Amino acid sequence: MSLPEPIQRAIEAFAALPGIGPKSASRLTFYLLREQSAALRDTLAEAIRGLNDVAYCQQCFNFTEAGQPLCPVCRDPHRDDGLICVVEEPLDVEAIERTGVYRGQYHVLHGALSPIEGIGPDDLKIRELLARVQAGRVHEVIIATNPSMEGDATAMYLHRLLAPLGIKVTRLARGLPVGGDLEYADQNTLRGALVERKEM
């Protein structure tokens, strides 16, 4: 390749991102090289540098700005600090926030127990969760790990640890998607919906 070195470096950097192959990486790079893109280049560079200042919230382990020990949710005095929703990833917090109905706090595990990837309890923020619950005040923990094998294994493990502490432990219900068609629901989902049906 006879491209100038800075261009090659930019392409390689883009290609290192998930979901971006060499073609997309070149396209992005050449888009940024256009004269009109000068401002965008600066904004991007600044934004990416800004990511270095992001830290973990010391309570829930979601992301927070540097210099702030707690994230906006944990700082909010109107939220119920006796209710904790446990999720795998920070993006899961965003998803639940978008529903607009949850007024408690969160705890981000940063993954799920995965025997295949060798991720055990010590690799997740599980000890921190227990410490939070043991400190008092918490009356319910909602486990919102993914409905996958790994997510379920994590949920069961957490339940075992939390149940002896005398608090309420719940798990997100499994059911049919809104606007879905019963006929096309897969067996496992339908089975879950039947088992976890609700009295009207």
- Greatest extent of the chain over all pairs of C-alpha atoms, in Å: 70
Nearer to another protein, 82 or 120 (CB): 120
**Nearest one of 42, 37, 81, 33 to 60, comparing CA atoms:** 81
Nearer to another protein, 71 or 113 (CB): 113
At its nearest, how many Å lie between another protein and the CB of residue 115? 4
Q: Name which of 10 and 126 has its Cβ closer to another protein.
A: 126
Question: Would you say 178 or 184 has its CB closer to another protein?
Answer: 184
Please identify, using beta-carbon distances, which residue of 33 and 149 lies nearer to another protein. 149
Residues forming the site for another protein (CB under 8 A): 21-22, 113-116, 118, 120-122, 149-150, 152-153, 156-157, 160-161, 186
How many CA atoms, within 13 angstroms, populate the side-chain half-sphere of residue 197? 6
List the end-to-end C-alpha distance of the chain, in Å, as a whole number.
67
Closest CA to 185 of 177, 196, 195: 177
CB of 24 to another protein, least distance (A): 12
- Name which of 108, 131, 123 is nearest 61 in CA terms: 108
Which residues, including other chains, have CB under 8 Å from residue 109's CB and lie 6 or more apart?
Answer: 61, 86, 87, 88, 124, 125, 126, 129, 145, 154
Closest distance to another protein from the beta carbon of 37 (Å): 26
**Distances in Å between the alpha carbon of 61 and those of 9, 86, 189?**
33, 11, 31
In whole angstroms, the minimum distance from the beta carbon of 158 to another protein comes to 11
Integer Cα distance of 67 and 56 in angstroms: 10
Q: Minimum distance between the CB of residue 31 and another protein, rounded to whole angstroms? A: 21
User: Which residue number, 6 or 115, has a Cβ lying nearer to another protein?
Assistant: 115
Cβ partners under 8 Å of residue 174, min gap 6: 147, 189, 192, 193, 196
Smallest gap, in angstroms, from Cβ of residue 168 to another protein? 20
